[in-house]
Amino acid sequence: MSQSFDIAVVGATGTVGETIVQILEERNFPTADLHLLASSESAGHSVPFRGKNVRVREVDAFDFSKVQLVFFAAGPAVTLSFAAKASAAGCIVIDLSGALPSAQAPQVVPEANSQVLEGLKKPLQVSSPSPSATALAVVLAPLRGLLDMQYVNVTACLAVSAQGREAVSELARQTTALLNLHPLETHFFDRQMAFNLLAQVGKPDAQGHVPLEKRLVTELREVLGMPALKISATCIQAPVFFGDSFSVSVQLAGPVDLDAVNAALEAGDGIELVEDGDYPTAVGDAVGQDVVYVGRVRHGVDDTSQLNLWLTSDNVRKGAALNAVQLAELLIKDQL
């Protein structure tokens, strides 16, 4: 006998929420009733699931005792308002907002630290890390045993879709205006995003770091199980609709054997290694895929103790929705 689960997706009208629904269907997740929830503004929309349109309802009025599994794919405030209710009602909670402390809901990427789920106590709460930390964890995890990593340096070039539909529309609108020599209007972004790069994604703290950068560092350390790893992160906003790209430079204690690195990446789960001389791109390779692409595996220009990598990942799918569904699959295993 196979068991099915009643599931709620909070934030179902966002790009990540919609993709979770799509992946539940694609992967044949044992779903009985699917409840799609959102804020009052988005309630009333509908999202397709298994050939039917499922109506999105207000999260405020929802009775969480109707479901056994909840994905939180809205902002941190929504998670903070409703996760406790969902847990109290006995639900498994999978949060994608970064709102829950990791002592309560550990950050997990199945390819890197699925063992954490085994020790998890009820109420089951787990966090799916930010798309950047997820992509980096998938690729660095199989290198942990091989390399003595001293310092990880990341410049993350992020797609606008991570900021939601309004950001996507504004990039398209600004680009069209510029190509037609119309005046540029800025609404969502505070300056020209089209044909430009923005050096800050979010509001910096007094030290100049934005929350995304701090999340990347904290979550990556936790997921890799390397709390003392030095990580430097700069998150920039690229004029790209979907797909994140990462320029990664790892400083090692000694010379690194690139053949061994390539072999470990080849063997790693959730990774597609692109052959030497070529490289993956966000749009051309990563978007719509279930793997993180890796290319440009090389030493420093004259430093064999440095490993350089270029990664691309679908920020919405691999970086968020798919990771969350993979977590759900692992968490329900014991209950089937």
**Local structure of 83: helix, strand or coil:** helix
Q: Which of 27, 45, 144, 214 binds a copy of itself (CB under 8 A)?
A: 214
Q: Which window, 38-46, 76-84, 88-96, 280-288, contacts a copy of itself (CB under 8 A)?
A: 280-288
Q: Quick one: 117 or 198, whose CB is closer to a copy of itself? A: 198
- Interaction with a copy of itself in 222-261: which residues (CB under 8 A)? 230-234, 236, 238-241, 243, 245, 247, 249, 251
Break the chain down into helix, strand, coil percent, rounded to 5. Answer: 35, 25, 40
Give me the residues paired with residue 127 across strands. Answer: 95, 107
Provide Rg for the chain, Cα atoms: 20
Q: What are phi and psi of 317, to 5 degrees?
A: -85, -75
Residue 155 binds a copy of itself (CB under 8 A): yes
Q: Quick one: 5 or 242, whose CB is closer to a copy of itself? A: 242
Residue 248 C-beta: closest distance to a copy of itself, Å: 9
Q: Which window, 61-69, 71-79, 174-182, 321-329, contacts a copy of itself (CB under 8 A)?
A: 174-182
* Residue 100: Cβ within 10 Å count: 22
Contact 102, 301 (CB under 8 A): no
Contact 98, 105 (CB under 8 A): no
* Residue 64: Cβ within 10 Å count: 23
d(CA 30, CA 159): 32
Residue 168 binds a copy of itself (CB under 8 A): no
- Interaction with a copy of itself in 184-213: which residues (CB under 8 A)? 191-192, 195-200, 204, 207-209, 213
Return residues touching a copy of itself (CB under 8 A).
151, 153, 155, 157, 171-172, 175-176, 179, 191-192, 195-200, 204, 207-209, 213-214, 217, 230-234, 236, 238-241, 243, 245, 247, 249, 251, 276-277, 279-284, 295-303, 306, 308, 310
